Copies of this chain bind each other. A is one copy, B any other.
Amino acid sequence: MYTLYSMQRSGNCYKVRLLLAQLHIPYRLVEVDILRGETRTPEFLAMNPNGRVPLLEVAPGRYLAESNAILWYVGSGTPLAPDDRIERAEALQWMFFEQHSLEPHLGAARFWLTMVKGGRELQRHALEEWMEHGYRALGVMEQHLATHDFFVAGRYTIADIALYAYTHVAHESDFDLTGFPAIRAWLKRVVEQPGYIGIDHRTQSMAIAE
């Protein structure tokens, strides 16, 4: 059974919890609080030298990091992970876009605005840049979704999961999606997928978490 090291509020961790729920894969959940430095302990760094969650133990003592790499591993062999050469590459394109052009801005804004007291003042200058770059990335997504129901392969895939995680909570970091009707319609389509859980969903196995 997988063990997932995860922080409940993290969008990157939510991606993995959502996919595991939709594939009905049982797992053991270990809640980790990055605000308390729990990803910087010697024990955690021995599992992931980069000191981040999510982290998935895929076999005893073998750990996989990076949310989108975990999505590929867990989704492998299911319709949610495109296997065709060009569709796989296009899914990867959107997932690298997510980690390079979207998450660093929406994720950073959300972290400082919702998890750090006084974050708005501390990061006032950075916030302007995160908003500018975040809106630019949302514009790229809006343009694509204006003519596509999902990002790749004409169906719901792990590329949608990756992009959904921070986009659906964009309002928490002051982003206004009013001017992005195609994104708003796509967010609804994601919610309608079988096995969907929200970011606040508490996984039952949390009861056995350390």
> Contact residues of A with B, CB < 8 Å?
49-50, 58-59, 62, 64-70, 72-73, 76, 85-86, 88-90, 92-93, 95-97, 99-101, 103-104, 137, 140, 143-144
CA distance A62 to B87 in the complex (A): 12
Contact A90 B64 (CB under 8 A): yes
Report the minimal beta-carbon distance from A109 to chain B, rounded to whole angstroms: 16
Q: Choose one: B62, B88, B99; the contact of A100 (CB below 8 Å).
A: B99
Which of A69, A73, A143 has the largest number of chain B CB atoms within 10 A? A69
CA distance A86 to B103 in the complex (A): 25
Report the minimal beta-carbon distance from A36 to chain B, rounded to whole angstroms: 20
CA distance A12 to B88 in the complex (A): 20
Nearest chain B residue, comparing its CB with the CB of A142:
B49
Report the minimal beta-carbon distance from A16 to chain B, rounded to whole angstroms: 12
How many copies of this kind of chain does the complex include?
A: 2
| Selected A-B contacts with CB under 8 Å, 22 pairs | A49-B143, A50-B101, A50-B137, A50-B140, A58-B89, A59-B86, A64-B89, A64-B90, A64-B93, A65-B97, A68-B92, A69-B89, A69-B92, A69-B93, A69-B96, A70-B89, A72-B92, A73-B85, A73-B86, A73-B89, A92-B92, A104-B104
Chain B residue numbers with a CB within 8 Å of A144 are 49
Contact A93 B65 (CB under 8 A): yes
Which of A70, A76, A100 has the largest number of chain B CB atoms within 10 A? A100
Contact B58 A140 (CB under 8 A): no
